[in-house]
Structure 1
Amino acid sequence: MELAILGGTGDIGEGLAMRFASDTAHTITIGSRDAAKASERARAYEDRLSAHGVETEINGTDNSSAAASADVVILAIPPHHVGDTVEELTEDDVLSDQLLISPAVGMSGDEDGLHYRPPSTGSVTEFVAQQAPDSVPVAGAFHNLAADRLADLEATLDVDTLVVADDPEVSDRVVTLTADLAGVRPIPAGPLSNASEVESLTPLLINIARYNEGMHDVGVTFS
């Protein structure tokens, strides 16, 4: 499977790229607004993976080129840029039936911590679905994963990630994709209208990490 991680030079993009490259046989392409930056970061990821005994190739290019050849596109883009990115992909006519997955969360911070700030659509995931062409399926996942722990290949994961999608078949595709990641359990959480509840967990987890020593990479599990 061809997997494009747009914003793959950022924190969550890096973590997902490292884990998918380490744990799966999918073809990974890092996308960025700057193709040269994406290519340079891809080489750095390859070197880190090689140091952990994983010999694989990661591609790096601009966002539109990465998405054009992908089966699945993960929008690891800051929430204030994700709409522009989807609009750009649409204008470049590179989106057809790729599965878009959004892990972005709208947040703002003050001296007390981070607070959930969703767009008027109710959630970033729903905003992505609104911006995307009708033919393109959209799901939300990976919202509540600690980026630093994902990127640390020496760290053992034992976390859950909630998956939202309006189409149960789309949800199943994301669950199947995610289940390949060692230590990450995907759990269906219903349609996109439930995304706000899922996304709002992220600032809560970050605040817990801030106020509790030794919980920097806190995650969630459900039982």
Structure 2
Amino acid sequence: MNGFARYALYMVPEGDFYRKGADWLGWDSAEGRACPQTALADLPKPAGAITATPRKYGLHATIKPPFRLAPGMDEDGLDKAARAFCAGLAPITLPPLAIQRLGGFVAAVPTQPSADLQALASATVAAFEPFRAPLTEGELAKRHKSRLTPRQEALLTRWGYPFVMEEFRFHITLSGALPQPEGDRLRDILAAYFAPLLANPVVIDSLCLMGEDQEGLFHLLHRYRFSG
């Protein structure tokens, strides 16, 4: 591991869901390569345009948002900390996922909330905070352009990201922002595409350390299994 601009801790699906999702986005973070995008009929826009924003992150759900390493921290230390942290965690089971519109984009989200998932996300954000470099003035200014609540502003200041702790919502992003009619149409298309894989509960038994390369693409560097 070296030469990465930022790091993150993601939940990355495995098996058929990962394969279908990576093929839809056109980027396989596990293999570190582009892949031909699945051709779906009746899309509101070309698949490449719909997925341009989420593609660079790969198929994932954010747990610890992307961050630059703080002064004095290095990749080996981050790897060791992630290994130790995940060794103390037990797997958690989520209810089945559903394809929904979330704000302006389409995502796979749990059909019911999970207190265990919220606790995992909050613990992960806090545990790896020592590795995060403070946001630059430019990064803060970019975030302040969004319509954040006072609480989200406070979370941004404390944790470097506004949608953590009680504001966290687990989601696997499948599109960029779309107007409502186009988003509704894509939601239905992707619900049919993923339908065979949405019936069962989802087990989270690992987190993945991700690295962002110089082109802005995220690579899966290591998967840490929970063994607590």
Please state which band the TM-score falls in when normalised by the shorter chain: under 0.3
The structure with the larger Rg is 2
TM-score, structure 1 normalization: 0.27
TM-score, structure 2 normalization: 0.27
